[in-house]
Copies of this chain bind each other. A is one copy, B any other.
Amino acid sequence: MSAGEDRSELAARNLRVLEALIFASRDPVSLEDLRPYLSDNADIDALIGDLQTLYAGRGVILVQRGSKWAFRTADDLSFLLRRDETEARPLSRAALETLSIVAYHQPVTRAEIEEVRGVSISKGTLDVLMEAGWVRMRGRRRSPGRPVTYGTTEGFLDHFGLESLGDLPGLDELKGAGLLSSRLPAGFQVPLPFDGALRDDEEPLDAGDSGDTLFDDDENS
């Protein structure tokens, strides 16, 4: 074997090693990190250049990040790594119950929802309903702590086939449908949902209001 063949074989091996090391590394790799794995006197800059040429125009390319090197998906194919999926799934019982309370009792605060439900509600539950576009923050109650008031959206009416909130069945209709038992204590009432902009005891949300503070704390706890 000639010295020339030896050299080119060595170069080919160096290139393979470089490729494997950059591929397997968890972070971009510096040339200094790579050098110990290569044969003595290897021209690392030339090798990097060769590797870059090898990958030029391919689905994966060799890119420089500062003084380090890494493989990345070619820019024009990065859309492959993003995907939109739409899925339909049933609303959880907690979400359904919370939604129904918001619908009937609006404007309603989180504490009031919990009072009706008898259990606390997680941040996620209201989040899901807001994300679904059925519940919105209306304003803040003029009371100590200024809790956020929630109400339903147009999207809610749309989804549930209601022309207005007034279409929500009242006490007698719920009884008639067998949804409420007929032996209810005297004074049991089903509220008439408030349909207007802001009620007297509500004030508008602050600009950029992100909701109850209590709420955000929950997220971190």
A residues bordering B, Cβ < 8 Å? 15-21, 23-24, 37, 57-60, 71, 73-74, 77, 80-81
Listed by A's residue number, 16 A-B pairs whose Cβ atoms lie within 8 Å are A15-B59, A16-B58, A16-B59, A16-B74, A16-B77, A17-B77, A17-B80, A19-B60, A20-B80, A20-B81, A21-B59, A23-B59, A23-B60, A23-B71, A24-B80, A37-B80
Each complex incorporates copies of this chain amounting to: 2
Beyond A17-B80, A23-B73, A24-B60, list 10 extra A-B contacts (CB 8 Å). A16-B57, A16-B59, A17-B59, A17-B77, A19-B58, A19-B60, A20-B80, A20-B81, A23-B59, A37-B80
Choice from B17, B18, B59 contacting A20 with Cβ under 8 Å:
B59
Main secondary structure of the interface of A (DSSP, over half): helix
